Amino acid sequence: MRILRTDDSRFTDLPDFPYPPRFTDVGTGAPLRLHHVDHGPAAASPVVMLHGEHGWSYLYRHMIPLLADAGLRVLAPDLIGFGRSDKPASQRDYSFERHLGWLEQWLVKLDLKRITLVCQNRTSLLALALVMRQPQRFSRIITANAVIPSTKEDRQPSMSCLLQAFARYSPWFPVPQLIQLGTTRPLSRAELAAFDAPFPDDAHKAGARSFARVLRHHHQEELNRQRLWRFLENWQKPFITCFSDSDPGTRGGHIRLQRRVPGALGQPHVTLKGGHFLQEDAPDSFARVIIDACRPSLAA
């Protein structure tokens, strides 16, 4: 496996992102460095915020200080292939199982407990699979525009195949512009450059290009999806859904989750103003949902 590492110089002076890098070795054989932000009181209950497709921990830059100021410890990892984490150079190096294993190793090595999990859209499949492996470490789940398919018909195969083919084969794969398509506010030139910082050239984009395939075609997908739904249908801890009012691709996804996950009953589910990335369009409101949900931990 050939490993690429984005030069540190590309991450200097990013707007609203003063956080020092922290790295954890994961994987077997030659280790991979997985980067994360860690901000807030070290003894406080952790909030793990997992970025969505194409993004990295920079996505949470407006929310991290709000949560830390409220007394929470915020951890925002970069998946392998994204952000400041190492990047295997071939799309064949990435699979759902490998992403899950790398993330689980990071979680266990940091020995995180009483976690509030915040996850985004299709990356929620990976995040919830992590909870299924380590349920005792998690206290609550907060999802942003998460749509968890339950049948083949739910997956809109034509559009999915089109997006997957574009990511895999297009000679032009503009990560910042893909982020911009998911927001209702215009990102500044500096913000667009920050989303592009992890990718000095196309060779560094194998993880980003492969992610749609990884999430939709992991080993025994149908069986794994059924196992995940069985797990969620027995999840009694708080489960909160946040959705956007201007993201047609995920509209209605909250209904199934609220009906089928016991922990969703009676929770303060919200629809916020914004597009696909609530972290960009409604960071204050989204942060408030997390802080309010964590009040029992803050009072303990």
Instruction: Extract the tokens encoding 276.
Output: 């696909």
The SS3 of residue 293 is helix
For the entire predicted model, the pTM comes to: 0.93
3-state secondary structure 44-71: CCEEEECCCCCCCHHHHCCCHHHHHHCC
The SS3 of residue 294 is coil
- Which secondary-structure segment (H or E) carries 162? helix 157-169
- Which secondary-structure segment (H or E) carries 88? strand 87-88
CATH of residue 27's domain is 3.40.50.1820
Q: Which residue has the tokens 């992403």?
A: 99
**247: which residues sit within 8 A by CB, 6+ positions away?**
145, 182, 274, 275, 276
Per-residue pLDDT of the chain (300 residues; tens, 9 = 90+): 899 999 999 999 999 999 999 999 998 877 999 999 999 999 999 999 999 888 999 999 999 999 999 999 999 999 999 999 999 999 999 999 999 999 999 999 999 999 999 999 889 999 999 999 999 999 999 999 998 876 554 545 445 566 767 767 777 789 999 999 999 999 999 999 999 999 999 999 999 999 988 887 654 565 677 889 999 999 999 999 999 999 887 888 889 899 999 999 999 999 999 999 999 999 999 999 999 999 877 766
Instruction: Extract the tokens encoding 57.
Output: 């921990």
Cα(176)–Cα(236) distance, rounded to whole angstroms? 38
Quick one: pLDDT at residue 195?
A: 98
| Total domains, the chain | 1
Residue-number span of the structural domain to which 175 is assigned? 3-299
Quick one: pLDDT at residue 217?
A: 63
- CA-based nearest residue to 121, from 251, 218, 227: 251
Cα(262)–Cα(266) distance, rounded to whole angstroms? 9
Extract long-range pairs of 225-231: CB within 8 Å, 24+ residues apart: 225/148, 225/149, 225/150, 227/132, 228/125, 228/128, 228/129, 228/132, 228/148, 229/148, 229/150, 229/260, 231/128, 231/131, 231/132, 231/135
Quick one: pLDDT at residue 296?
A: 77
Quick one: pLDDT at residue 265?
A: 97
Which residue type occupies 141? I
What's the distance, CA 126 to chain centroid? Answer: 8
CB atoms within 10 A of CB 171: 5
11 — alpha (psi -120 to 50), left (phi > 0) or beta? alpha
Cα(1)–Cα(214) distance, rounded to whole angstroms? 17
